[in-house]
């Protein structure tokens, strides 16, 4: 059987690349391509069974809720879809029967493994910080991947009973120490030439350990996009992370 897919943000960089990947995949069919200025009714008119969301953070939540209220499964690829937005979706999903929503901070298999390895390593080191690097056209900072990485690191350290990170900084008027996400310092670089890269820097007495992942082309995300779309129909409720279907 073929799954009927609608794509929100279909004329964007990630949306357009995804449309081509979905069309080339077995078992998936693009039935609606929706972008700014288009009516969401195009999705229901085309009888989309699952919707891929690659729109901007300011509109993505309302679009996801619109789909859920109509019983359509959703894969969310919009960066910056934070815990508050996830909770809002969960509240609506709880009132629906049989809807699945998968929020994916990063569709790259390498990035998923990097996040997992960082969480496993974090309790063994005194210090840990995240540095993410993206192109300057990205609208949100820090990236969704960096936020998710920091949350997983913080959770792993809390479960292990790790001590707070050492940091004697008392004077930082310009924010040179970066943002704090769940107590983990996160730094965002924006420079032409990057697609999506991230480092997790861990430090202990006399040593440092660096995990790094680089996506050099948006094609690196496409196997994950296809996997998410093919699998979300088997989920119920809201799930975060591609590892939920790996």
Residue 28 to residue 225: CA distance in whole angstroms: 11
CA 48-231-22 angle, to 5 degrees, is 55
The one catalytic residue among 134, 187, 213, 239: 134
* DSSP summary character for residue 235: -
Superfamily grouping for domain 109-215: Dihydrodipicolinate Reductase; domain 2 (3.30.360.10)
pLDDT of 131 higher than 90: yes
Reference 210, options 198, 219, 228, 227; nearest CA is 198
User: Checking DSSP bridges between strand 50-53 and strand 28-34, what pairing results, if any?
Assistant: unpaired
Torsion sign (Cα): 219, 6, 65, 60: positive
Tens-place pLDDT, residues 43-61: 999 999 999 999 998 899 9
239 noted as active-site residue: no
Tens-place pLDDT, residues 148-186: 999 999 999 999 999 999 999 999 999 999 999 999 999
What stretches of the chain show up as alpha helix (H) in DSSP? 13-24, 41-45, 57-69, 83-93, 109-121, 144-160, 222-231
Q: In what side-by-side order are the strands of the sheet with 28-34? A: 28-34, 3-8, 50-53, 73-76, 100-103, 237-240
What pLDDT is attached to residue 60? Answer: 95
Residue 164 to residue 105: CA distance in whole angstroms: 26
Residue 136 to residue 233: CA distance in whole angstroms: 35
Beta bridge partners of 4: 29
Tens-place pLDDT, residues 85-110: 999 999 999 988 889 999 999 999 99
Residue 62 to residue 57: CA distance in whole angstroms: 10
Confidence class of residue 245 from pLDDT cuts 50, 70 and 90? very high
- Cα end-to-end distance, the chain, whole Å: 21
Yes or no: say if 195 and 215 are a contact pair by the CB < 8 Å rule. Answer: yes
What is the CATH class of 3-103+219-245?
Answer: alpha beta
135 noted as active-site residue: no
* Block residue for tokens 């310092």: 185
Domain positions in the chain: 3-103+219-245, 109-215
């Amino acid at each position: 059987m073929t799954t009927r897919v609608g794509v929100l943000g279909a004329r964007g960089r990630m949306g357009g690349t995804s449309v081509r990947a979905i069309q080339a995949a077995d078992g998936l069919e693009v039935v609606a391509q929706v972008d700014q200025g288009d009516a969401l009714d195009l999705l229901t008119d085309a009888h989309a069974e699952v919707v891929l969301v690659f729109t901007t953070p300011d509109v993505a939540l309302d679009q996801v809720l619109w789909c859920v209220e109509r019983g359509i499964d959703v894969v969310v690829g919009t960066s910056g879809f934070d815990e508050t937005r996830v909770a809002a979706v969960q509240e609506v999903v709880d009132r629906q029967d049989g809807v699945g929503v998968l929020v994916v901070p990063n569709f790259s298999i390498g990035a998923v493994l990097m996040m997992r390895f960082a969480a496993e390593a974090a309790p063994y080191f005194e210090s840990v910080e995240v540095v993410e690097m993206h192109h300057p056209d990205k609208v949100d900072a820090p990236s969704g991947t960096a936020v998710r990485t920091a949350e997983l690191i913080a959770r792993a350290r809390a479960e292990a009973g790790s001590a707070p990170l050492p940091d004697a900084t008392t004077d930082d008027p310009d924010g040179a120490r970066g943002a704090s996400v769940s107590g983990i310092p996160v730094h965002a670089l924006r420079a032409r030439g990057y697609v999506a890269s991230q480092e997790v820097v861990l430090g202990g007495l006399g040593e440092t350990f660096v995990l790094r992942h680089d996506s050099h082309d948006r094609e690196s995300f496409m196997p994950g996009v296809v996997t998410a779309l093919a699998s979300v129909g088997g989920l119920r409720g809201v799930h975060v992370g591609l590892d939920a279907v790996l």
